[in-house]
């Protein structure tokens, strides 16, 4: 019996990955890692074992990984000393006898000079550490999430329009559920050893494209309003985001506008065995009721 452990079991990606694994493996093969196991009671009620573990606690991770063959390492949150946390997971996994780690770095376009603060550099470091660790690895590289388009575009989109700094760049967004399903495929099948996948959705869209899609869906004009960076930060702060968080969101938008995530790959489609959710499908599900 191969036991598969997914970290971050109380977060969106970790929980969704375990839910998709349940469709492919018996619950007894699955383990979820959580800082607070009580918050993963929903998964436990489905028969998944929940183990306590914190990325900052190497010895606790060593105990949690006992008897586990594969680990899905869900990325630590930005601005939380990701380097120490990821190192602890990889080192504990190696010492516990884990054979295979699956990791979800952000996509970084070859030759690009763009770097997302507290994300790009740390993710590239994890990729290199895994390749040098002697562990089997799989990299499931992520684009930005479709779920974050509303945040990036300024919120209240049907009434306020799409408000973002100007730029013609596009991004091949993917939704969390599709990405989690792809994780479950990689974790539950053989043939993905020491491979790297770029899980682009598609088609790639710009913020101006998003405004046009929303106009078509709602049947009323949704303008694209190009605004300066500082005005963008001010708007996000007025909506309740702390200034450092607003600046981080701006960095994602700048990456989209620079075309950092406009690549193309059929990796996600092949893993899913179907077309991934498109921006039109996602926005129609979110705004088809003319929300605003």
* Residue that finishes a domain, picked among 141, 164, 192: 141
Domain check: are 150 and 168 in the same one? yes
pTM as predicted: 0.96
CATH code, domain carrying 75 = 3.40.50.720
Query: Which pLDDT value is given to residue 292?
Result: 46
In a domain, 251, yes or no: yes
pLDDT above 70 for 64: yes
Q: Kindly report, residue by residue over 9-30, the tens digit of the pLDDT.
A: 999 999 999 999 999 999 999 9
100 in a domain, yes or no?
yes
3-class DSSP state of 257: helix
Residue 32 and residue 109 in one domain: yes
Is residue 191 domain-resident? no
One domain, residues 85 and 162: no
User: Over 90: is that where the pLDDT of 291 sits?
Assistant: no
Instruction: Say which CATH number the domain at 277 has.
Output: 3.90.25.10
SS3 annotation, 63-114? HHCCCCCEEEECCCCCCCCHHHHHHHHHHHHHHHCCCEEEECCECCCCCCCC
Question: Does the pLDDT at position 53 exceed 80?
Answer: yes
Q: What is the mean pLDDT of the chain?
A: 96
Question: Based on the domain organization, do 19 and 108 belong to the same domain?
Answer: yes
Domain residues for the domain of 118 are 4-141
Assign 276 to helix, strand or coil.
coil
Q: Is residue 150 part of a domain?
A: yes
**Alpha helices, H only, 194-287:** 207-218, 229-238, 243-257, 267-272, 279-287
Mark whether 14 and 41 lie in a shared domain.
Answer: yes
Residue 163 shares a structural domain with residue 128:
no
Regarding whether 137 and 56 lie in a shared domain, the answer is yes
Overall number of domains in the chain: 2
Per-residue pLDDT tens for 69-106? 999 999 999 999 999 999 999 999 999 999 999 999 99
Instruction: Using a pLDDT cut of 70, give the percent of the chain over it.
Output: 98
Cα distance between residue 252 and residue 27, in whole Å: 37
Alpha-carbon gap, residue 55 to 33, rounded angstroms: 10
Q: Is residue 47 part of a domain?
A: yes
What percentage of the chain exceeds 90 in pLDDT? Answer: 96
How does pLDDT run across 194-208, given as a tens digit for each residue? 999 999 998 999 999
- Looking at the domain assignment, is residue 161 inside a domain? yes
pLDDT band at 289 (very low <50, low <70, confident <90, very high): low
Same domain, 94 and 120: yes
């Amino acid at each position: 019996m191969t036991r598969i452990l997914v970290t971050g079991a109380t977060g969106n990606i970790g929980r969704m990955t375990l839910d998709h694994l349940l469709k492919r493996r018996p619950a007894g093969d699955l383990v979820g890692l959580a800082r607070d196991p009580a918050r993963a009671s929903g998964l436990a009620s489905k028969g998944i074992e929940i183990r306590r573990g914190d990325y900052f606690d190497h010895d606790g991770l060593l105990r949690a990984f006992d008897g586990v063959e594969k680990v899905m390492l869900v990325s630590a949150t930005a601005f939380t000393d990701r380097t120490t946390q990821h190192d602890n997971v990889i080192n504990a996994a190696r010492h516990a006898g884990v054979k295979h780690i699956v990791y979800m770095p952000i996509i970084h376009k070859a030759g690009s000079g763009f770097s997302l603060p507290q994300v790009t550099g740390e993710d590239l470091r994890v990729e290199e550490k895994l390749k040098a660790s002697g562990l089997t690895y799989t990299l499931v590289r992520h684009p930005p999430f479709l779920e974050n388009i509303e945040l990036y575009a300024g919120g209240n989109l049907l009434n306020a329009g799409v408000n973002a700094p100007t730029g013609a760049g596009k991004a091949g967004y993917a939704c969390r559920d599709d990405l989690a399903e792809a994780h479950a495929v990689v974790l539950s099948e053989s043939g993905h050893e020491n491979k790297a996948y770029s899980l682009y959705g598609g088609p790639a869209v710009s913020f101006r494209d998003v405004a046009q899609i929303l106009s078509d869906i709602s049947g009323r004009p949704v303008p694209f309003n190009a605004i300066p960076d500082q005005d963008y930060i001010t708007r996000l702060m007025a909506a309740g985001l702390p200034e450092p968080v607003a600046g981080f969101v701006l960095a994602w938008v700048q990456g989209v506008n620079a075309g950092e995530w406009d690549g193309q790959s059929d990796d996600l489609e092949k893993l899913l065995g179907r077309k991934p959710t498109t921006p039109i499908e996602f926005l129609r599900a979110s705004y088809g009721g003319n929300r605003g």
